[in-house]
Structure 1
Amino acid sequence: MASSGNTSGGPSRRFCVAPMMDWTTSHYRYLARQLSRHTLLYTEMVTTGALIHGDTARFLRHDEAEYPLSLQLGGSDPAELAHCAKLAEKFGFDEVNLNVGCPSDRVQNNMIGACLMGHPDKVAEGVHAMIEATDLPVTVKHRIGIDGRESWDDLCEFVEKVSEAGCRTFIVHARIAILEGLSPKENREVPPLKYDWVYRLKAKYPHLEIIINGGIKTFEECHEHLRHTDGVMLGREAYHNPWLLAGVDPEFFGQAAPVQSRHQALRAMLPFIQSELERGVFLTHMSRHLLGLFHGQPGGRQFRRYISENAHKSGAGLEVIETALEKVREPAAPEIAEA
């Protein structure tokens, strides 16, 4: 049985939305926060090089309404990771997370992501440097292995070395990453899920906080995983069907949902969208994250189609969202979010 508490301090990780490149932008996160106050949200992965040598403020920009919020870093140099952990604290994030799971060729070439599963000492050095640099919780998101290092003993060696460096929270994608021969998309689908390995990690290391990730879609599945682990992390399902997040607070935290309908959630977004438009952000950069809000609802296709056909046009503004909203009927009673 999983422990009931958070062993790392900081925000609750009972229910999280995974960091996803091009998807978990500040605009998606603002929508997610209208639906759930307690879900822990993650940024897209940001590389240490981008933060140190690029437009730091742009990469770390977020709205206070997004909290609780974790910054996910990609990198392996201890000094750079320490510097970026300090930035995470300076910019108000609740947690800093190290990516040891991304399988793309581009990050492998820079010693970022899943390839670091083959270098547990290097990960431990980076984690130790981050912990020394910040008071924020430092967590690691990783796979259960990579090709060539995919045994149970390899996984335990990784967790033990990184935990000895001070990490207390491990977010475990229950698949190996195949670094040669599969694309990042295929790596999210082809290697088989081994949830039992994540359960075994929690049983073997009960003092650590173990969060399970990979292929989770329903609340029923979440409850089963929570019998064995400390938290669950959903990815694609939470993005393509964001309304499920409206059920998280009552289902997992014993709190009322912040909104009663999809319409209410979208209307709550409008002032934020307008402020972003005034800042020079194109509507399509925001509206693409709204397309799944009416997933499976009468009028949902018309809603998506109208936004898709009009949001990219020059000068497109709130009127596009408001017109699209008229194409879906508002319910007379509160909606129940289920997953």
Structure 2
Amino acid sequence: MSALSKSGHSIYWLRLEDRGRNLELRDLPDAVHPVLWRNGKGKVHWWQYPDLVRKFNRVLDEVKPDLVHAGPIQPVSIIPAMAGFHPLVSMSWGFDMLQDAERNNLWKWATGYVLKRTDHFFCDCHTVKKKAMAWGFPEDRITVFPWGVDLNTFSPSEKKKMGKELILLSTRSWEPRYGMDVALKGFAQAIQENPQLHLILLSGGSQAEWITSFIRAHQLEKNVELRGQIDNTTLAEVYHSAHIYLSASHIDGSSVALMEALACGTPALVSDIPSNLEWVTDGVEGWVFRDGDDTDLARKILHIAAHPDLRTAAAVNAREKAERNANWEKNFSILLDGYVQAMKEGQR
């Protein structure tokens, strides 16, 4: 949003749902115009969509946008698709195409409906691109836009210390798709052999009760630190305080948190899902373990702890990977180029 607000374009922002949990502590940039277009908070249900489309049409009449950029696919992009607006840029959030698209017949229908009415498709990894193509979306109308990070803000630090202690960091939301149960179970196994392991957990979510109960039941209070949601201005310091970034996600696109960690020179330990493998090669920018396998995760944690020298080379490789593929200043132009292409496609 900040970058778009400085692009010379007029930006209007609509929010579909407000479930009371704030995942972003920063305010909208002054140049971004929030549009209050619906009343109420909480989850939006399918039966509400005809009314939402009517309200969205009123917004279109008032704002008269040249382009609409919407996502995730099924719950959000379907609104401008039902309104018949063009050019429509539909942007996948990863899970919408990799998981939700096959959830049931309704979600399958919604996925196909949106894609048939989308002028240009944005995704953040090649894994999702392949999925969209499997749904019949033309490759030449797909832009892979891997987001990126500010490489000056997220940069290596000399604060990390070598030694027997190993500090792991997870920033993922406490939701089933992110494998927090696998992360904790693997850590609990590893700590039985190496009590000098520490785990920092940021964020929160629907599994909060299970996570806190698991920590108590396995007497991990001294080894697991819960920090909740933190301000973005201090996020780089948290990456610097850890030796390893941990993600046990089952479903993901190109994770911005993973990019931030790599940019900070913090090697990653991630599940071997295809989107993670676009960023981490085992033994290069970090390490991978079998998705859903907490025992394999424990083995990898112990291996990394026993060979601290491996982290030095991995840290260098991690930063180099971020410089090549996660440079926000470079990647932002991909977004703007995609908009230009979408405008041409929307006029066909």
TM-score of the pair, normalised by structure 2: 0.29
Say which one has the larger Rg.
2
